[in-house]
Structure 1
């Protein structure tokens, strides 16, 4: 029983090691790898080599599949180019399996010894994540050694042979077991390494090992297919096409498993080398042959999975790439871009308010209120995306940025609600009754509205650039707006005292508009505070403001 536990712990350590390497590489080089894949779509050869190279670094064709699926979902890569990259990724996985099955057990303690202090002392830096990757590589090599050590005494017991007897003879069953293990471990690489190690120890026959390897390839394709299901048709087409290539290869090669199992030992006597060599040759030949069918398979996938027409009024996020979540800095940049998009929608809503102040257009009012649904939808998407970012992986600056993004997102959502309320009041109290503001009142509202638009743009600029001077200007604009709100409220009351008919008819709406505009301005100007806090200038700014207030009071 203890020996079996040792074997299972070795398998678990192998799976964990591949996970650490994959996440470590993505955190260090995630943005660079995405850029490489994005620039490689110009030619088939570049796309194939990019898939091969990126997967060799990440050690996971599944990670490459997630990145390319997100590209396809956003229309950033064509289906043919995406399929070519995925074929290169399959060859990259096979190459890494060959490298990791070399006798590198002596390297394991060196990698762990170098990686642990580097990771613990500089955890939140690129150097720390590089240390994490070294630890993962060391654990993979250590796990392979432990599996070999545990498998040797197990072969002396008859119970072990009985346990593995189910994996002898049935080609389809063996392939399904290989696919299941690849899916459970989320790594076809781990499945192939384990299979090669068990074959070298005599736990399984060479024929079983070959079937398990083919099944592991199928398992990685199924994983990509499952990951793409929640995405749009473009991402699903890519996953279906990639799986079709793997399935075609399995259908062709599995009937010859027995023949290959007899022929391979003649060429490669070591079972471990034979399994890994078969994996590399099989994937290379299969992928090179499939390159000639990329366009045909892409056309079939388009017919099977056509684009669904977008529901009228439905707005989807453009920048919240799930593949970016593995790299916190990239994920925060994606969220920032989507928040700026929300800001643009709020800006359009504000422009519509200006039009509604001047003329009674019911269609514009209804469209503006509908746009608040877009703001709410994107707000929910950004908030959900931010919760998926691991806060433990963020350094101090990234944590502040995370807070700034969620704060601005909440403020813009509140701004959308306020604008919807403003438009609803205009529709009820002005449009439906065919009223108009007085000339003086409209001028005041136009002035406040123009300042609102300017402060929204300035606030988004401060959020984007963290410019201290702009932040100070934004805070000064907030105070100026507050003063104007008082002045214009008093002027409106003076007009009421003068019995101005238009002022009387629109009095309640006019005062509500000024009050709501003040609230909007406070939300737009709130982006200044994090920048001033970070620069240590907020306290000084508040002291200066109190001094000016006291001077105004004395005057």
Structure 2
């Protein structure tokens, strides 16, 4: 009975460790996820830059799985090569070792301080990012606390005869250690948590150092199993290339490391006498060694993966261009027409995103908000494809009309993509925040926001029509919507403050949300006007260079 209670106690401590790590990962992703994604997509000039980008992003996210999902998405959409994505994963594997390095030192005394600071940030932070960072600090404190508790729980049993007998049988077979740790990591979905536990057991004297190193190899192998089993699109074998490549790299590294396990253990033990720090050092050295070994071979591995897992053509992916025909490049007018048709798909996607925000705002559908956020990727990829298509044309064959139309298409696509960014980064976060906290707007405030959204959808339809027919009358009407929206924003804010002064339903928190949503709707409307109306009016000479009143000269 006592043993069962002790095992249950240790299981609870491990659960606390996993939950603390989960809080760190989700807090960082909520606070900086879009920025890290954009950084990763822009820092991929070659496989070596990609390797260091993978280290940086994963060191912040503390999740090689999250980095792998980004890299898989970029690869599937053709934004980066498979070689670059494999290099990112080698960097991600190194990045996950960095928090283990920090936690290998005895800093458990500051765990309560971390939790206290994190709770204060979470409770007092009026800004969403501050609350998310508070979640991160709480998670770090929970991880430190759980490691301290695990060490205290297992240390008294280090010399238990029964435990010694079992451990002797297990540690006598390094391959068994690798398989055991791989299975535990697959179940826990976290190599960091398993390595930290191995570190605690080694520090308490429960397992010898050589067995701990073999278990670390298993943790590195196990973390590559989940993406292979669960990731990718089952209908397209090509989506499995990156997870399989990462798994093969890990397997090759484990085989080589097992062959040199005994001399590596003796060497590291002489340099680093502390068992916990020795385990952390081996974890880092293994992944660095794997990166140095595999980086030169990535082009060959990528070719093999492409041969084993060929691409299955599927025209149903909304992020893939449909109308950008290479044969049309020979005729600039036709090329402009197909590029404009592709840009209309962006308008359709933006329309769906606005409808998703409206639905989430009206019905409190959190799942709908998440779907809307993901649709921004479609805009990003279509915008990139249109730009690459148009800039690949031979401008020497263009006349003035072709050049003007190309500028109009690029302006239209860029502004729609930027409007989508406002929805993804701001509007969806605001609506999700309202749903999560159970906040409600007053009936009048809710109606005002929905009316603005409906007007915005109408303006998007007008912008699409102006983009297609270049009618100056429609362009002038759309341009006037910018002032109309400004007036509507001012009336909405004034009505909102009047309700606050009258002590109506709106709280201070919903007031901030309400005003932020109004501000973002106005920003989206400005992008729609700039996307379609301004290019036409500028060509007609009807666009002023400034809204400032000219000074009077005496």
TM-score range, shorter chain: 0.5 to 0.7
1:155 aligned to 2:158?
Answer: yes
For 2:243, the equivalent position in structure 1 comes to: 239
Contact kept? 2:36, 2:57, Cα under 8 Å: yes
Q: Secondary structure at the match of 2:318?
A: coil
Q: Distance in 2 between matches of 1:340 and 1:278?
A: 40
Total equivalences in the alignment: 384
Q: Displacement, 1:55?
A: 0.8
Q: Distance in 1 between matches of 2:9 and 2:63?
A: 25
For 2:110, the equivalent position in structure 1 comes to: 107
Q: Deviations over 1:16-51 (max 9, x none)?
A: 111110111010010111011101111233211111
Change (3 A) 1:117 1:340: same
Partner residue of 1:185 out of 176, 185, 188: 188
Change (3 A) 1:283 1:456: closer
Q: Distance in 1 between matches of 2:217 and 2:35?
A: 31
1:334 aligned to 2:349?
Answer: no
Q: Distance in 1 between matches of 2:153 and 2:200?
A: 11
Q: Distance in 2 between matches of 1:451 and 1:264?
A: 66
Q: Displacement, 1:166?
A: 4.8
1:315 aligned to 2:316?
Answer: yes
Contact kept? 2:202, 2:212, Cα under 8 Å: yes
Change (3 A) 1:338 1:22: same
TM-score with structure 1 setting the length: 0.60
For 1:224, the equivalent position in structure 2 comes to: 227
For 2:218, the equivalent position in structure 1 comes to: 215
Return the structure number with greater relative CO, CA threshold 8 A, min gap 6: 1
Partner residue of 2:78 out of 69, 75, 78: 75
Contact kept? 2:44, 2:53, Cα under 8 Å: no
Q: CA RMSD in A?
A: 4.4
Q: Secondary structure at the match of 2:260?
A: helix
State the 4+ residue runs in structure 1 displaced beyond 6 angstroms.
326-331, 339-342, 394-398, 450-453
Residue correspondence of structure 1 range 26-425 to structure 2 within 5 A: 26-122=29-125, 125-230=128-233, 232-310=236-314, 314-318=315-319, 332-335=372-375, 393=436
* Alignment gaps of 5+ in structure 1: 321-325, 343-381, 413-449, 474-530, 537-555
Contact kept? 2:10, 2:153, Cα under 8 Å: yes
- Please tell me whether Structure 1 or Structure 2 has the larger radius of gyration of its CA atoms: 1
For 2:484, the equivalent position in structure 1 comes to: 469
Contact kept? 2:186, 2:226, Cα under 8 Å: yes
Q: Distance in 2 between matches of 1:259 and 1:327?
A: 53
Q: Displacement, 1:53?
A: 0.8
Q: Secondary structure at the match of 1:42?
A: coil
Q: Displacement, 1:205?
A: 1.8
For 1:416, the equivalent position in structure 2 comes to: none
For 2:360, the equivalent position in structure 1 comes to: none
* Alignment gaps of 5+ in structure 2: 321-348, 350-365, 383-423, 467-474, 476-480, 489-513, 520-554
Q: Deviations over 1:201-241 (max 9, x none)?
A: 11112222111111111111112212323364443111111
Q: Secondary structure at the match of 1:203?
A: coil
